[in-house]
């Protein structure tokens, strides 16, 4: 089964972002981390809701990653 492309929008010093990355890695994913504070557009878009997890181009989590939902998303058949 092909693993999704995962982007984790984060910022330095964000404890929830660290936890989100740990959960993603625990589920076999290799998220690309992007610091929103280095990009004004991303900062405006995600300032109050990091971490944000985008899987295959679709926002799946904001603020916290739900392990149960993540497991379901990883096991659902792809079209």
Range of the domain at 24: 6-75
Reported as a pLDDT band with limits 50, 70 and 90, residue 3 is: confident
Total count of domains within the chain: 1
Query: Would residue 26 count as lying in a domain?
Result: yes
Query: Would residue 55 count as lying in a domain?
Result: yes
Query: Would residue 1 count as lying in a domain?
Result: no
CATH of the domain at 69: 3.40.30.10
pTM given for the model:
0.91
Q: Quick check: 30 and 55 in contact, CB under 8 A?
A: no
Q: Quick check: 3 and 70 in contact, CB under 8 A?
A: no
Q: Quick check: 50 and 17 in contact, CB under 8 A?
A: yes
Q: Give the tens place of pLDDT for each residue, 6-50.
A: 999 999 999 999 999 999 999 999 999 999 999 999 999 999 999
Reported as a pLDDT band with limits 50, 70 and 90, residue 76 is: confident
């Amino acid at each position: 089964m092909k693993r999704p492309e995962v982007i984790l929008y984060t910022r330095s010093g964000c404890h929830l972002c660290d936890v989100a990355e740990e959960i993603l890695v625990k589920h076999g994913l290799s998220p690309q981390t992007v610091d929103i504070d280095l990009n004004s557009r991303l900062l405006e878009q995600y300032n109050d809701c990091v971490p944000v997890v985008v899987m295959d181009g679709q926002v799946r989590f904001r603020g916290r990653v739900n392990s149960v939902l993540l497991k379901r998303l990883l096991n659902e058949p792809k079209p």
